[in-house]
């Protein structure tokens, strides 16, 4: 299962890197600029979930429901599960080779995010929660206890 997830994440990352035309709405651009999430950006995320879309730049807020071990194969990722207001759970795969790890993250904590959503039958995955050192992909971020990780 871990191998399949890793291969999927690597494929998604490669696809996202090659896709130079990621479209974002003005609200999402404003979210990124101010590192905040509002109800409209949460609606865009829910729309992507409801329509089973992938490769969608989204923002949202969720509560950590489970801490997972780091994925240490290939690019290292801090992983945890967030539950958003609709009850949907999302796997967050935060690249800790490109961005700082969220130290002190615990179940029950609130995390805001801006990244790429990929649909799966368990709710979905949020990745690209970091800057792109090559400058080809719009950077993402995570916000926890007032600190931004990008």
Structure token digits, residue 42: 């949460």
Percent over 90 (pLDDT), the chain: 65
| Domain 6-149 sits in CATH 2.40.50.140 | yes
Structure token digits, residue 39: 């109800």
Tell me the per-residue pLDDT of 79-120, one tens digit each, with 9 for 90 and over: 999 999 999 999 999 999 999 999 999 999 999 999 999 999
Mean pLDDT, to the nearest integer, of 9-13?
52
Q: How far is CA 65 from the centre of its chain?
A: 15
pLDDT value at residue 37: 62
Tell me the per-residue pLDDT of 125-150, one tens digit each, with 9 for 90 and over: 999 999 888 888 889 999 999 999 99
- Counting other chains too, the contacts that 143-147 makes at CB distance below 8 Å and 24 or more residues apart are 143/35, 143/111, 143/112, 143/113, 144/102, 144/105, 144/109, 144/110, 144/111, 144/112, 145/104, 145/109, 147/102
pLDDT at 14 > cutoff 50: no
pLDDT value at residue 40: 54
Mean pLDDT, to the nearest integer, of 28-49?
62
pLDDT value at residue 137: 84
pLDDT at 21 > cutoff 50: no
Helix H or strand E encompassing 56:
strand 56-67
pLDDT value at residue 133: 86
pLDDT value at residue 147: 95
pLDDT value at residue 135: 82
């Amino acid at each position: 299962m871990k191998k399949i997830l890793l291969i999927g994440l690597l494929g998604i990352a490669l696809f996202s890197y090659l896709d130079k035309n990621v479209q974002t709405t003005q609200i999402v651009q404003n979210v990124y600029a101010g590192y905040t999430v509002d109800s409209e950006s949460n609606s865009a995320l829910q729309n992507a979930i409801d329509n089973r879309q992938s490769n969608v730049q989204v923002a949202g807020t969720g509560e950590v429901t489970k801490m997972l071990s780091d994925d240490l194969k290939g690019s290292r990722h801090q992983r945890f599960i967030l539950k958003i207001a609709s009850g949907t759970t999302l796997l967050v795969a935060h690249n800790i080779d490109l961005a700082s790890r969220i130290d002190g993250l615990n179940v029950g904590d609130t995390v805001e995010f801006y990244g790429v959503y990929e649909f799966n039958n368990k709710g979905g995955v949020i990745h690209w929660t970091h800057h792109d050192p090559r400058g080809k992909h719009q950077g993402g971020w995570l916000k926890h206890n007032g600190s931004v990780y990008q």
